[in-house]
Amino acid sequence: MTEQPVDVLIIGAGASGAAVAWSLAETRMRIVCLEQGGMPNPSDFPATGRDWEARRSGDFSISPNVRKLPADYPVNDDDSPIKVANFNGVGGSTVLYAAHFPRFHPSDFKVRTLDGVADDWPLDYDALEPFFAENDRMMGVSGLAGDPAYPSGKAPVMPPLPLGKAGETLARGFNALGWHWWPSDIAINSKTYDGRDKCINLGACISGCAQGAKGSTDITYWPQAIRNGVELRTNCRVREITVNDQGMATGVIYYDRENREHALNAHVVVLAGNGIGTPRLLLNSKSNLFPDGLANSSGLVGKNLMFHPYAAIQGIFDQPLDGYRGPHKAIQSQEFYETDPDRGFLRGYTFETSRGMGPVGTAMTGLDRGRIPWGDGHHASFRKMFNRVTSLAAICEDLPEEHNRVTLDDHLTDSNGIPAPRISYTLSDNSKRMLEHAVARGTDVLKAAGALEVLTMSPIPFAGWHLLGTARMGKEPKRSVVNEWGRSHDVKNLFIVDGSIFVTAAGVNPTSTLQALALYIADQMKRRLANLFD
């Protein structure tokens, strides 16, 4: 079934798709967004029941290969030490993220100039700064102005969330060593904001916020975009982007909830998947004009995949802490963020603090590490760990390498028969050295904070939350997929706005920068409305 063409078709209703839809709505163009998942229902979130930890291993797992819901597609990540984590539905992975919301640093946009590695971005921090601020207002960010790690002028819209016992304990460790720390910027309400209530410390943030205090785009951007006329269609999985003989995108072919095939034509197509879903769709959109996949004359679609390798450093203390209650993030340290050649690696990492684990997580970790035995002493050992564990996570910059890539699997498909993505990824020597450094310094912090014992894991295997770099932006068509404002070099009415266009990954969570970039691209599109459809 074919319907009348729309002006703008957005594929994906997550962090970037929502921001673009909201921004473009003021043009009064006819805008339709197709999302392969559904609209989240907060009453179904794990935080509403006592089995919330168990559901993290089932229908609310971060891994699509574990969830296996109708909206999910399988990912062959056997050839990677880091496994893909995402969420398919309105809001995308903002539904399951911890809402840690740091921005990229100015240096992150010019690593070639500063450190002689990777490539400089075709834009800089100053170009994105007003969109960072706009996005902070839309998502609702709590934090404290004045962090010396950032340029002056960054002012979160709400006061910082309480540090809690865990944050205060770890801050003492950083203070003892004389190292930088600061209350984290977090997209969680510290007070009532924009019609959403404040955080009440449910603690299951990464399984969806039933309180609505966490800024996920299903409750921030989307309600406003829909009120302004954007049409959001859920449970619609796109198979391919179609093109005409002139090499222009004409729309998509997609499947609805009942697996019925539809064609939807559009004057402009905006792709807002992620660093896995976007190259999957482009590579699957082959034609006589684009035999190697759409927008792939550079041969770079799917290449330069960047995760953030994570190290976990847990401390066991002799005093009660917060347990799992409260937002996961309290403070961060960027003491080791910028390049120092004496450390033996280029670029750097951020330390993020976490609170503790729930009772099931505590028991499983204790059993796995040999601290909680079966039988005699089981309960006594459990009590020595429960509410007495807190941790640091080191989020390490991952430099782009072309051999880290996304391709189409030869055998695995989703429920509609669309080829699944296959991941090939290895840790670089630079990343390995960075992880080793992070584990050592994180251990120093926890010991300085009074930890009786320190447990470490590096890299964390199920930590592929950040999917970046597989359709990179740049001014040179031979070395990039889209230009400096997200427009495909090959297909002039195709735009990409998600994490796949990142040139480098930085050493921070990407959501804030990803959304600022999406708003920037939408603004550039509006500035060029006169020739946008050419």
Nearest to 283 by CA among 251, 241, 246, 249: 241
Identity of the amino acid at 456: T
Give the CA dihedral 395, 400, 401, 407, nearest 10 degrees: 90
**Gap between the Cα atoms of 143 and 134, Å rounded:** 15
Enter the tokens of residue 88.
Answer: 């398919």
Sign of CA dihedral 209, 215, 219, 222: negative
pLDDT per residue, tens digit, the chain (534 aa), is 557 899 999 999 999 999 999 999 999 999 999 999 999 999 999 989 888 889 988 999 999 999 999 999 999 999 999 999 999 999 999 999 999 999 999 999 999 999 999 999 999 999 999 999 999 999 999 999 999 988 887 889 999 999 999 999 999 999 999 999 999 999 999 999 999 999 998 888 888 999 999 999 999 999 999 999 999 999 999 999 999 999 999 999 999 999 999 999 999 999 999 999 999 999 999 999 999 999 999 999 999 999 999 999 999 999 999 888 888 888 999 999 999 999 999 999 999 998 888 888 888 888 888 889 998 889 999 898 899 999 999 999 999 999 999 999 999 999 999 999 999 999 999 999 999 999 999 999 999 999 999 999 999 998 899 999 999 999 999 999 999 999 999 999 999 999 999 999 999 999 999 999 999 999 999 999 877 766
Sign of CA dihedral 87, 93, 99, 104: positive
Nearest to 395 by CA among 445, 342, 458: 458
- Say what angle helices 125-139 and 511-527 make with each other, to 10 degrees: 110
pLDDT of residue 154: 86
User: Cα Rg for the chain, rounded, in angstroms?
Assistant: 22
- Please give the distance of CA 69 from its chain centroid, rounded to a whole number: 20
* Terminal Cα distance for the chain, rounded: 26
3-state SS, residue 287: coil
pLDDT of residue 103: 96
- The CATH homologous superfamily for domain 2-155+186-308+399-426+464-472+479-531 is FAD/NAD(P)-binding domain (3.50.50.60)
Q: What is this structure's pTM?
A: 0.96
Strands 405-413 and 419-424: antiparallel
Nearest to 67 by CA among 95, 30, 33, 25: 95
Beta strands in 13-144 (DSSP E): 31-34, 76-79
pLDDT of residue 533: 64
pLDDT of residue 318: 94
Angle at 465 between CA 462 and CA 469, to 5 degrees: 125
Instruction: Say if CB 67 and CB 95 are below 8 A apart.
Output: no
Sign of CA dihedral 340, 341, 345, 347: positive
pLDDT of residue 389: 93
Token look-up 């673009």 returns 20
pLDDT of residue 1: 53
Neighbours of 359 (CB within 10 A): 14
pLDDT of residue 405: 98
Length of the chain measured in residues: 534
**Gap between the Cα atoms of 429 and 410, Å rounded:** 30
